[in-house]
Structure 1
Amino acid sequence: MKFLPAAALAAALFASPAAIAQQTYVLDASHSQIVFSYDHLGFSTTYGMFSGFEGTIVFVEDAPEQSSVEVSFPVRSMLTGWEERFAHFMSADFFDAADDEMVTFVSTGIEVTGEDTALITGDLTLNGITREVVLDAKLNQRGDHPIENRPWAGFDATTTLLRSDFGVGAFAPFVSDEVAVVISIEAMAAQ
């Protein structure tokens, strides 16, 4: 099912609350990841990833702008592909992260922009600092999973963050302050 066109959304605003169908989804940690990249001294683009995170999506069928998203994961779940880089990121130069320090995102608003696209605004808490960010999101597909035999949904989203906004701007501008973020998630209907 795709996001509804604007006319259908307007009609949904006047529907009674009982008529609005919603589905709660739980993120499939094995098929959800956040990939980030940044410029390193102009010589290369460096990549990292977070995976295995938890979260829920409440998808409101007839009024997707009333949907919501909550995601959390430990900072120390970061994958860099190089132990020394990971150790440096977890040092006082950057996160100085405790084992239980979490990154969280909680949506505060959704603007439907197309048949299957939306801008999801939310509060991102990273390194103990909360900032508003906007995710440019796309619904890839909703339907029954062919193996799991239950409702499933998949979304992609992108955003750009400034490291300095979250107190981890060491070595900028030589190492870019801007970090490109690409998110791809699958989520299963909660049981």
Structure 2
Amino acid sequence: MKQYVTAAALFMGGAIIGASGAMAEPEAYTLDSSHSQVIFSYNHFGFSTTYGMFSGFEGEIMFDEEDPANSSVDVSMPLMSMFTGWEKREEHFMSEDFFDASEGDMITFTSTNIEVTGEDTANITGDLTMNGVTQSVTLETTLNKQVDAHPMENKPWLGFDAATTLLRSDFNVGNFAPMVSDEVEVMISLEAGKAE
């Protein structure tokens, strides 16, 4: 898999000029697990594109509106939250052929650099750890929306989309490649609200 979500963008919104005129530090936003997910897809023997998803995100975005490159993200999600729509496929993915997963195994992403590429876009590079392997990956990220007050939560809120391509073999889950594609396309969409 050639560069992964999780997690997602995190570069606009959060810093405020204080009364003294000094810039504030980046502000913390907590991921909204109910509206955050990773969708992945891969080619199956050339016949079809197969899809799956992960959910159950937890994590924090440190968000700096005035200096987006000063932002950061640290997220995790349970490996066994994977859903493909077919239970036997999920069982196979968790078997020794792939992840050899145990309850409590997590996928984590911690940003190491943010390169602002446009008014609402950035490349977020970070360390993705999955299946006991850590690789540097880059997420092409877009800030979808930023508001001072979410219409239901009544507090500052952010929404992002991100995408990347991973190589399964980079994380020691490359079995059956290339018939089942080594490349996995990853799409991430998430929301985060300002921490209390």
Aligned pair count reads 179
Q: TM-score, normalised by structure 1?
A: 0.90
- Paired position in structure 1 for 2:178: 173
Structure 1: 4+ residue segments shifted above 6 A: none
Q: Deviations over 1:36-75 (max 9, x none)?
A: 0000000000000001210111001211001000110111
- Provide the residue aligned with 1:134 in structure 2: 138
Question: Is 1:33 equivalent to 2:37 in the alignment?
Answer: yes
- Give the structure, 1 or 2, with the largest relative contact order (CA under 8 Å, sep 6 or more): 2
Instruction: Give the letter for the 2:53 counterpart.
Output: M
- Give 3-state SS (helix, strand or coil) of 1:115's partner: coil
Q: Which runs of 5+ in 2 are unaligned?
A: 1-10, 14-19
Q: In structure 1, what is the Cα distance between the partners aligned to 2:194 and 2:145?
A: 13
Q: 2:152 aligned to 132, 147, 169, which one?
A: 147
Alignment map for 1:86-165 (pairs within 5 Å): 86-143=90-147, 144-165=149-170
Q: CA deviation at 1:20?
A: 3.5
Q: In the alignment, does 2:24 pair up with 1:20? A: yes
Q: What displacement does 1:126 show?
A: 0.5
More helix by share: 1
Letter in 2 for 1:188: G
Q: Over the residues paired in the alignment, what is the CA RMSD in angstroms?
A: 1.7
One-letter identity of the residue aligned with 1:97: A
| 1:147 shift after superposition | 1.1
Aligned partner of 1:69 in structure 2 is 73
Q: Secondary structure at the match of 1:19?
A: coil
Cα offset, 1:17, TM superposition: 10
Tell me the distance in 2 between the aligned counterparts of 1:66 and 1:3. 10
Can you give the 5+ residue segments of structure 1 that lack an aligned partner in the other structure? Answer: 5-15
Equivalent residue, structure 1, for 2:191? 186
Distance of 1:54 and 1:3 partners within structure 2? 19
Give the structure-2-normalised TM-score: 0.88
Deviation at 1:102, TM superposition (A): 0.6
In the alignment, which of 48, 52, 77 is matched to residue 48 of structure 1?
A: 52
Letter in 2 for 1:174: M
**Post-superposition offset of 1:3:** 4.8
Kept in 2: contact 1:110–1:120 (CA 8 A): yes
Matching residue of 1:85:
89
Give the SS at the match of 2:101.
coil
Per the alignment, in what secondary structure is the counterpart of residue 123 of structure 2? strand
Kept after mapping to 1: 8 A contact 2:57/2:77: yes
For residues 26 and 70 of structure 2, what CA distance do their matches in structure 1 show?
A: 10
Find the counterpart in structure 2 of residue 9 from structure 1: none
Please give the secondary structure, in 2, of the residue aligned with 1:105.
strand
